[in-house]
Amino acid sequence: MIGIISAMQEEIQALLNELKNVTTTEKGMRTYYSGKLFNKKVVLVFSRWGKVASAATTTQLINDFNVEEIIFTGVAGAINKDLNIGDVVIGKNLFQHDLNASPFYKKFEIPILKKEFLETKNSQKIINSTNLFIDSYNKYIKDSEAAVFNITAPKIVFGDIASGDQFISSIKKIKKLNKALPTAICVEMEGAAVAQICYEYNIPFSIIRIISDKANDNATIDFSRFANTIASNYALGILKNYFA
């Protein structure tokens, strides 16, 4: 069984539409959708935004559904100038950019675990699957929808991700993140929390982030539309290849 998480249902709606033999379980104000996706047993759930919500969802997923792997998919804001809307970031190392237990621990270091970041697993397989998706991009993404968000030549980047309980929407905050975590290329609100739970339970974890904005003063896109028409179909195409 593979667990698939997103922060918003819109980000995995295309996957839910393809799910077969569906059963649902209600726990902790969340709905867990179990079934077969491209002939693989999976359970899908949207966690809601933030580190606490995603950590709680991941823990429930591991304890109640006997998952052997977890994949997180969703949108993120770029904090690297080379990333554009529609690009895909496959996570390498996950940092909690708002974690600071100094002077007892170094900044960003997770107490007790003594790790400043957590590494993902199965990254090469996700990268290969994303490359295949890009090769058949127009099979999943309509030209008219790509044009709405000025997506022209999406690319894949394997890089570090910063997570924190805040929506980054200013150049000033981006500059602070760039200085504090120079290897991080995008920012979101869940990934590092999910990575920590997976690490503690020894569950392989990987993450797919689709760039929806530049996390700056112009981060005002229609997130619901982007999640529904772009991010959800990215997840569909990438995971169809991943499960092949």
Q: Residue type for 90, please?
A: I
The whole-number average pLDDT for the span 107-136 is: 96
Is the CATH number of domain 2-242 3.40.50.300? no
**Separation of alpha carbons 175 and 159, rounded Å:** 18
| pLDDT tens for each residue of 138-172 | 999 999 999 999 999 999 999 999 999 998 888 88
Annotated active-site residue 213? The verdict is yes
pLDDT of residue 219 exceeding 60? no
Using alpha carbons, select from 40, 35, 31 the residue that is nearest to residue 6. 31
Annotated active-site residue 10? The verdict is no
Q: What is the pLDDT of residue 162?
A: 98
| pLDDT tens for each residue of 167-197 | 888 888 999 999 999 999 999 999 999 999 9
The helix (H) or strand (E) run that includes residue 188 is: strand 184-188
Using alpha carbons, select from 172, 2, 156, 10 the residue that is nearest to residue 87. 156
**Averaged confidence pLDDT in the chain:** 95
Q: What is the pLDDT of residue 155?
A: 97
Tokens of 98: 């708002």
Q: 213 near 219, Cβ under 8 Å?
A: yes
Reply yes or no: is the peptide bond before residue 204 cis, omega within 30 of 0. Answer: no
Residue 33 three-state SS: strand
Q: What is the pLDDT of residue 215?
A: 66
- Marked catalytic residue, from 11, 87, 160, 188: 11
Q: What is the pLDDT of residue 222?
A: 81
Q: What is the pLDDT of residue 217?
A: 55
pLDDT of residue 202 exceeding 60? yes
Q: What is the pLDDT of residue 141?
A: 96
Domain boundaries, the chain: 2-242
Tallying the residues shown for the chain, one arrives at 244
- Marked catalytic residue, from 10, 87, 188, 213: 213
| pLDDT tens for each residue of 106-115 | 999 999 999 9
Outline where DSSP puts E strands in 118-236: 118-119, 156-163, 184-188, 205-213
Q: What is the pLDDT of residue 233?
A: 97
